[in-house]
Structure 1
């Protein structure tokens, strides 16, 4: 697989992320682009997991706050931005939350 494919795959569910992570270890020379998008993809996965768990708890306690579930659409849009950046082979952070993941997840490098 080439760098562009691995970068895009790093956003496609956690299974795709694991495949991209394993395949990126085989690349010589190491690709900064793939590592960057692996970090961004893992970050958006963690954020979406935390938000979904929190919203499930909040809405089950206070059903009147069901409108908060629309936050899931925002996460989906941010995910699309990440895929577009990977497809264009750009190292741009995901809007709003992407900067937080640029220097995190040291195990990816």
Structure 2
């Protein structure tokens, strides 16, 4: 699998992330592009999961907040697509709004 495809696949669910991570670990030459996008996608997956749980709890308490759950889901998908676009352009740039939170937090090159 090429570096570009590993970076793209890392954004496609947690299974895609695991596949990209395992392929990256097997490769002899560690790519900065793949390392960066593995970190960005893992951060987005974790953030989406935490927000999903928090919004679900709030929606159970206040049913009128159901629309907020839908908005958060759509925003997560938009950020995911923006990450895929950046990876396909082989750009090392953070996701909008939340990407700076994940920079330097995850290092997979070891």
Query: Which position in structure 2 is the counterpart of 1:67?
Result: 67
Query: Which position in structure 2 is the counterpart of 1:6?
Result: 6
* Uncovered stretches (5+) of structure 1, i.e. residues with no partner: none
* Uncovered stretches (5+) of structure 2, i.e. residues with no partner: none
What displacement does 1:27 show?
1.6
Query: Which position in structure 1 is the counterpart of 2:85?
Result: 84
CA RMSD of aligned residues (A): 0.9
Task: Provide runs of 4+ in structure 1 moved above 6 Å.
Answer: none
What displacement does 1:56 show?
0.5
Could you state the TM-score of these two structures normalised by the residue count of structure 1?
0.95
Counterpart-to-counterpart distance in 1, 2:47 and 2:30? 26
Counterpart-to-counterpart distance in 2, 1:54 and 1:81? 24
Could you state the TM-score of these two structures normalised by the residue count of structure 2?
0.94
Larger mean CA deviation between 69-78 and 15-24 belongs to 69-78
Larger mean CA deviation between 63-72 and 13-22 belongs to 63-72
Counterpart-to-counterpart distance in 2, 1:66 and 1:15? 28
